[in-house]
């Protein structure tokens, strides 16, 4: 696998040299977007690195970053790497105890926080830290605490370290560990995945191949000539997807990132920025789908019949194109009229320059996928990867299948083990778990294959399908082993359902706890004229229970009798990150949910 650079920092310097005056990031300050050029970013990165070295920072030391999507993140991250250190992010939603664990496990010497709230959270557990850098104005008399601007000024006043930084980056090795990404941890304390220069650069190259394939299929009518590509940065940088496919891949491709530090403002910012591409989680697309679908069904700004006719024309045109057949002029004209009056209007809800959509982390319901492809004329390309091997599989315009996560990405090798486990191999692989040789040896076998823990299959065309988690199989009282993930994902194909957790260990039959998406549920109630007083009451309304039952029955029709969900309960609220029932990336913590809703579960086996 050919790579243009040996280190992240050399890639960064090349980007600065090629486009010094182009905006690297835009940050929301005083209700306006404030741009920072690549050259200005590099200046601040060097100030940060110099200040670290003036503080006594050594090669291999660790900096933790506890901040939202603000400019401090890329500056601190790249500055740490420039100083020869290791950068490790922490989720802003983590508790003080979880932060303390990462401080100590990563042997962190320096911590960067953005707000006083974050500072106050960690101060009681900060004994192991040498220095805390705070972005917002702070009481300078606090022990070990320095304000961000003062820290950068310290670096600016010590330019003698720039030569050291230059020599250090020139002598860096592709296998040097530069990042530790802590997994969100569904079963215990998180593991620290060590990522090297090689991992990041190989991932960027793999992503570039995928982006090129997607861009090549974008209709010319969508494209804006000679415009600087722009996208939103809203997922946490401590998550591997936003760190690699967001921060570093934008750097590699020269894309401007708009920093969204308040997730509740994502949608209005999207309409304001008008990004050219958007990489989101399924939940975002489900919300957009629910709102527009509700408007269509109630004819709020849309002609319902015209919309469904347009969808049929779109399906016909795409099918004829796939078959290599000519499109009859009457259908082509109807399609072009639908594009002008309907598809473009729906796409406009994502901004008037949007050209591509991608998603990962979890499957998107099929009705949502179909809506965007045929109702908005813009497909969503789904991907699959893990912290340890981010660039695993991706659907592309020329290679995609329903319910598949795609074919192997550039540089990725995939095979299925004898027990059905998905294995990865290639230069995109992580370097092991920090201070956990046993876990590393368990994850990477003697032949260099990474054991993902996911169960799947590869079809005759090379497409990968995820069917379950190896450690989450349910064993019923009859001895049957069943994948709960398969059933849960089948249920979640309906956008009204938010989370599903299937039970049945050592039981005669399977049951499920089901939570609902509030916006989608309220929209369903409005369209179907269901009256209710409170949201909690709506979740238990007989018509809603009947609707959920029909979804469960349709899922049961797709599996064997022993895999069918015999009983379910709809909860009055969704699982929550704050209550530690799901991780920041949306994965259900099964042990916690099982314990918390034990009484509800037992009613289904009474």
Could you count the other beta carbons within 10 Å of the beta carbon of residue 503?
Answer: 22
Kindly state whether residues 462 and 547 are assigned to the same domain: no
Kindly state whether residues 26 and 109 are assigned to the same domain: yes
Average pLDDT value for residue range 53-71: 95
Q: Which of 422, 439, 469 is the last residue of a domain?
A: 469
Kindly state whether residues 410 and 526 are assigned to the same domain: no
Domain-located, residue 227: no
Could you count the other beta carbons within 10 Å of the beta carbon of residue 528?
Answer: 11
Angle at 27 between CA 26 and CA 31, to 5 degrees: 120
Report long-range pairs for 339-346 (Cβ below 8 Å, ≥24 apart): 339/221, 339/377, 341/306, 342/302, 342/306, 342/307, 342/310, 342/375, 343/310, 343/314, 343/375, 343/376, 343/377, 343/378, 344/377, 345/302, 346/292, 346/375, 346/376
Domain-located, residue 245: no
User: Domain holding 494: CATH number?
Assistant: 3.30.300.30
Least confident of 407-421, 492-506, 532-546: 492-506
Per-residue pLDDT band for 188 (boundaries 50, 70, 90) equals: low
What's the pLDDT score for residue 225?
66
What's the pLDDT score for residue 184?
67
Kindly state whether residues 91 and 139 are assigned to the same domain: yes
Domain-located, residue 104: yes
User: Domain holding 121: CATH number?
Assistant: 3.40.50.12780
**In the sheet where 177-182 sits, what is the strand order?**
145-147, 131-134, 108-113, 62-66, 86-89, 177-182, 192-196
Q: What is the pLDDT of residues 117-168, one digit of tens each?
A: 999 999 999 999 999 999 999 998 899 999 999 999 999 999 999 988 888 8
Average pLDDT value for residue range 505-515: 92
Domain-located, residue 554: yes
Domain-located, residue 353: no
Kindly state whether residues 547 and 456 are assigned to the same domain: no
Q: What is the pLDDT of residues 444-470, one digit of tens each?
A: 999 999 999 999 999 999 999 998 888
Q: Which of 216, 249, 268 is the last residue of a domain?
A: 216
Could you tell me where the beta strands, DSSP code E, fall in 380-478?
Answer: 380-386, 389-394, 407-408, 413-416, 421-425, 450-458, 464-469, 474-475
What's the pLDDT score for residue 1?
62
Q: Which residues pair with 424 in a beta bridge?
A: 414, 450
Q: Which of 216, 249, 284 is the last residue of a domain?
A: 216
Domain-located, residue 226: no
The answer on pLDDT for 598 being more than 60 is yes
The pTM of this model reads 0.85
Q: What is the pLDDT of residues 262-276, one digit of tens each?
A: 888 998 999 999 999
The answer on pLDDT for 187 being more than 60 is no
Kindly state whether residues 492 and 536 are assigned to the same domain: yes
Domain boundaries, position 45: 8-216
Domain-located, residue 368: no
Q: Which residue has the higher pLDDT, 169 or 158?
A: 158
CB 395 within 8 A of CB 406: yes
What's the pLDDT score for residue 406?
94
Per-residue pLDDT band for 560 (boundaries 50, 70, 90) equals: confident
Kindly state whether residues 536 and 391 are assigned to the same domain: no
What's the pLDDT score for residue 189?
75
Q: What is the pLDDT of residues 332-386, one digit of tens each?
A: 999 999 999 999 999 999 988 999 999 987 788 888 999 999 999 999 999 999 9
Kindly state whether residues 111 and 79 are assigned to the same domain: yes
User: Domain holding 431: CATH number?
Assistant: 2.30.38.10
**Nearest alpha-carbon partner for 368 in 517, 554, 493:** 493
> Nearest 5°: phi and psi at 498?
-95, -60
Kindly state whether residues 414 and 458 are assigned to the same domain: yes
Domain-located, residue 427: yes
Average pLDDT, the chain: 92
Average pLDDT value for residue range 2-18: 90
Kindly state whether residues 182 and 52 are assigned to the same domain: yes
CB 350 within 8 A of CB 391: no
Measured CA to CA, the distance from residue 360 to residue 291 in angstroms comes to: 21
Structurally, the chain folds into a number of domains equal to 3
What's the pLDDT score for residue 172?
87
Kindly state whether residues 423 and 507 are assigned to the same domain: no
Measured CA to CA, the distance from residue 12 to residue 38 in angstroms comes to: 9
Kindly state whether residues 395 and 514 are assigned to the same domain: no
């Amino acid at each position: 696998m050919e790579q243009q650079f040996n280190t992240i920092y050399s890639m960064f310097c090349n980007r600065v040299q090629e486009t010094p005056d182009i905006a690297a990031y835009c940050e929301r300050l005083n209700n306006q977007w404030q741009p920072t050029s690549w050259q200005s970013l590099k200046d601040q990165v060097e100030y940060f690195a110099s200040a670290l070295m003036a503080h006594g920072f050594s090669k291999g030391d660790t900096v933790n970053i506890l901040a939202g999507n603000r400019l401090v993140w890329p500056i601190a991250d790249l500055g740490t790497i420039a100083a020869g250190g290791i950068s490790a992010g922490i989720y802003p939603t983590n508790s003080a105890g979880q932060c303390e664990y990462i401080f100590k496990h990563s042997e962190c010497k320096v911590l960067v926080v953005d707000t006083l709230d974050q500072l106050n959270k960690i101060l009681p557990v900060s004994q192991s830290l040498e220095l805390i850098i705070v972005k917002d104005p702070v009481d300078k008399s606090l022990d070990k605490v320095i304000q961000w601007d003062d820290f950068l000024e310290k670096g600016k006043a010590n330019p003698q370290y720039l030569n050291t930084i230059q020599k250090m980056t020139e002598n860096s090795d592709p296998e040097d560990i530069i990042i530790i990404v802590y997994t969100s941890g569904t079963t215990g304390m998180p593991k620290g995945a060590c990522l090297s220069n090689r991992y990041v650069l190989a991932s960027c190259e793999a992503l570039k191949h995928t982006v090129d394939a997607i861009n090549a299929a974008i209709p010319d009518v969508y494209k804006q000539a000679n415009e600087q590509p722009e996208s939103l940065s809203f997922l946490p940088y401590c998550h591997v997807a936003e760190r690699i496919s967001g921060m570093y891949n934008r750097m590699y491709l020269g894309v401007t990132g708009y920093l969204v530090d308040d997730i509740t403002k994502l949608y209005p910012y999207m309409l304001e920025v008008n990004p050219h591409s958007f990489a989101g989680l399924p939940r975002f697309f489900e919300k957009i789908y629910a709102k527009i679908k509700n408007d269509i069904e109630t004819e709020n700004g849309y002609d319902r019949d015209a919309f469904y006719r347009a969808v049929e024309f779109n399906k016909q045109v795409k099918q004829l194109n796939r078959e290599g057949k000519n499109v009859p002029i009457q259908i082509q004209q109807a399609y072009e009229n639908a594009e002008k009056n309907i598809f473009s209007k729906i796409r406009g809800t994502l901004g008037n320059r949007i050209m591509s959509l991608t998603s990962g982390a979890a499957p998107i319901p099929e009705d949502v996928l179909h809506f965007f492809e045929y109702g908005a004329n813009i497909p969503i390309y789904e991907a699959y990867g893990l912290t340890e091997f981010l660039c695993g599989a991706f659907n592309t315009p020329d290679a995609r299948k329903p319910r598949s996560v795609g074919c192997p990405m550039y540089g990725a090798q995939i095979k299925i083990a004898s027990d059905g486990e998905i294995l990865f191999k290639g230069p995109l692989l992580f370097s092991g778990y920090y201070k956990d040789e046993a876990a590393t040896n368990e994850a990477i076998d003697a032949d260099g294959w990474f054991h993902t823990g996911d169960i799947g299959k590869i079809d005759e065309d090379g497409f990968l399908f995820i069917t379950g988690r190896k450690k989450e199989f349910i064993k019923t009282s009859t001895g049957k082993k069943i994948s709960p993930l398969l059933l849960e994902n089948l249920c979640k194909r309906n956008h009204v359902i938010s989370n599903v957790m299937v039970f049945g260990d050592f039981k005669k039959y399977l049951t499920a706890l089901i939570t609902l998406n509030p916006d989608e549920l309220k929209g369903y109630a409005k369209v179907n004229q269901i009256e209710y007083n409170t949201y909690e009451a709506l979740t238990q309304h007989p018509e809603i229970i009947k609707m959920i039952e029909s979804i469960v029955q349709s899922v049961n029709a797709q599996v064997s009798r022993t895999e069918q969900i015999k009983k379910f309960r709809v909860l009055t609220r969704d699982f929550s990150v704050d209550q530690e029932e799901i991780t920041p990336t949306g994965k259900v913590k099964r042990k916690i949910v099982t314990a918390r809703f034990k009484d509800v579960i037992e009613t289904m086996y009474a």
